[in-house]
Structure 1
């Protein structure tokens, strides 16, 4: 099974993006030679060309402009859109169908950050704040027409300093594992639009301290045959398991492959074409590549496998076909150096939505909400008056109860992580899938 991998790179300018002299294996879109790419463009000089200004971020009800365009039926071209010919003639200029698909999978990936419980005071730190049945509802992603079928947990099998360890969280959660992502599948209506039943996997990037430690383990170890090697830290997160844990009796690798196999058998048994599309950012990009490699090696019945890997220039595994994104072309982004901002997934999606080709400015009719670029950063120009890092849990998670006390709330029972949360009564098995109509929209 051939894997199709689209590698998206973000940097502060095309000049930086074109500087590939360090021996890394990349497949650039084309030689970038325009002098205008080397110019420093002041955001203030672009204000007269801004499609959106501060007044566009005031709620005006029905007079607001929708943030997305109608989605066309891509059923006759889906294999090309997903890299059958390595995206030849689809990247520069970018085909609008491909742009929308990249943004869709990028938003699936962004969900792994938006729903992660970062609160070190929370009894559920490191888990997902929502159960899989309402994840897309909570994050406004039902528009894409997918259902989450399984959550994936991973452990870092390393010793870290005591001041980096997670506090003892009792019996409700785990001190060994973190929520790492999920598997989802396209529903009937979306499957008709995209031309096949699509299994989507999303892997979260690095957020937990123990994951940063694992990321720094740069030694290589061989996997499979043919001399394929991977950084040992990434591989450890992907494959670690222990019988003494609640959530990682199976490794993240085994959890994903088990779920993809189950969905594949059901839908292939119904005579459908089935694809696997895996996405990841930063560490998640490496895990996406590993899971695609595993699927290609062990699941020959999959009709198509593709990977969308999003990473800042100079980070991550560089393979496949590359789409380069130049931050200096967006009139909405600041020009100051911001290492974390350059690595922000929402910034990548903003640039993807505005990209037309390597010789053009940010497209004037980009529809995706610009305010999202400041969700976890301070990247937008001051003139838009969008608060920095605005995506936060209200009152840092405390609630005002009926006794006039500010307290940490109990989670609803269905939102408490459970290693048994994927019991057959909730799973999309052949026996109950049709009975409960789980995959209808």
Structure 2
């Protein structure tokens, strides 16, 4: 089947999931009438963040958060209470991956989109006064990004030191600003609300970790240096430093990321445990965030928090983190890990890629404790099966596309079986793949990097001069010293 016919079928299946949509007749490739066929971009001096304006069907316009909410949900929100432990690895996902179970697909995309929020809301703008922070206050994060439908509420933000010796894994302000020159926003803790709790069969605490801003950082900064964690278990020293470092004089990192996340997990487990609710912990992250997810899941499981019944990790494009003893500790403590790996993505081979792939293969040294090892069960996706993606990279930007989280979510949406092609009833808008990158085929005519951060917005001040938009008071970063005291209903 040619690309035009497949894209037309993709559009038709998507439209069938929601209310009827009008389509203009035309030539060439037909794409879903959500984001794909409405990307006519223009800048205005004043409108709500983010900067991107989307004209829907040519007769009205909405900001990106509205379009994001209108993007079709990947699958029906079925009740999974009877099956949640199996979906979270109770049987190591046996029988759920080949072919991919539809309920698992929905859950993977849900956690992936909760992780994607850490990129979409991250201020990496070079000249921003708040560079390295989150664009939004915690009560506005999901509404601004159109993620309230997933049924979670953010309870705490997570920060890590930005002046530790791991170079470009974090960003630093280049102009004097009002918030911090020593910290980066690295993610958040959220908890399922009453409706989602009923659907999934337990109260779910989610920890979502942000990854690296640029994939090129891996090639420059990955270092083959272990640091002892406990006993014979060792992990990459940069990951552990980012997770454990703190500074007494820092407004945002008087506590380490480790201390922040553990304090919030204990608080939430106590609240819902006192209600006699079953509580699970799902830690998710992409790239570097996948490494931090393993560290925090390991710590939470080791703490044996009363009332916490299950700990699982869903990671996307994550590197190796520690040695085989570290992996064994995760297994012994009952942490269930499902790691999604794109066949063309190089980051999961790091750190230690050269050593493990080359030395281990030819000298049979891969069993030594000093070598890095992956944890958990692998779910492999393959960019070559998607008719919408570039298959022959021509430069770093295309290679980065294989690592992009939105590419992973596109491939999960299209995955049925590793022995089959891209499924015909995939529902996720393919334009999202180019949100930050350029992984889609050029002949689809979807602009690369079309998602524009809100702090790039220019507005007119009282003198009529164009100036950078100031943040709303509720979006100015606040030190993580007073977590929410009221639980979700």
Q: Secondary structure at the match of 1:152?
A: strand
Q: Which has the higher contact order (CA 8 A, sep 6+)?
A: 1
| Match among 204, 207, 210 for residue 213 of structure 2 | 207
Unaligned runs of 5+ in 1: 1-43
Moved more, 235-244 or 335-344: 335-344
Between the two proteins, the alignment pairs up a number of residues equal to 382
Residue 423, structure 1, aligned to residue 429, structure 2: no
The residue number in structure 1 matching 2:467 is 407
| Superposition pairs of residues 25-424 of structure 1, within 5 angstroms | 45-50=2-7, 51-52=10-11, 53-54=29-30, 56=32, 57-58=37-38, 59-60=56-57, 66-158=72-164, 166-170=173-177, 172-207=178-213, 215-225=221-231, 227-301=232-306, 302-311=308-317, 313-316=345-348, 318-337=374-393, 338-393=398-453, 396-419=456-479, 422-423=481-482
How far has the Cα of 1:165 moved from its partner? 5.4
Relative distance call for 1:89 and 1:180 in structure 2 (3 A) is same
CA contact (8 A) 1:156 1:214 kept: no
Moved more, 402-411 or 92-101: 402-411
Relative distance call for 1:242 and 1:113 in structure 2 (3 A) is same
How far has the Cα of 1:46 moved from its partner? 3.5
How far has the Cα of 1:208 moved from its partner? 8.2
How far has the Cα of 1:315 moved from its partner? 2.2
CA contact (8 A) 1:54 1:383 kept: no
Q: Secondary structure at the match of 2:272?
A: helix
Q: Deviation per CA, 1:248-285, whole angstroms, max 9, x where unpaired?
A: 11000000000000000110111000000000111100
Q: Output the TM-score relative to the length of structure 2.
A: 0.73
How far has the Cα of 1:353 moved from its partner? 0.5
How far has the Cα of 1:331 moved from its partner? 1.0
The residue number in structure 1 matching 2:322 is none
Unaligned runs of 5+ in 2: 12-28, 39-55, 61-69, 318-341, 349-372
Aligned counterparts of 1:91 and 1:418: Cα–Cα separation in 2 = 42
How far has the Cα of 1:55 moved from its partner? 5.0
Q: Output the TM-score relative to the length of structure 1.
A: 0.81
Relative distance call for 1:394 and 1:298 in structure 2 (3 A) is closer
The residue number in structure 2 matching 1:20 is none
Aligned counterparts of 2:458 and 2:418: Cα–Cα separation in 1 = 47
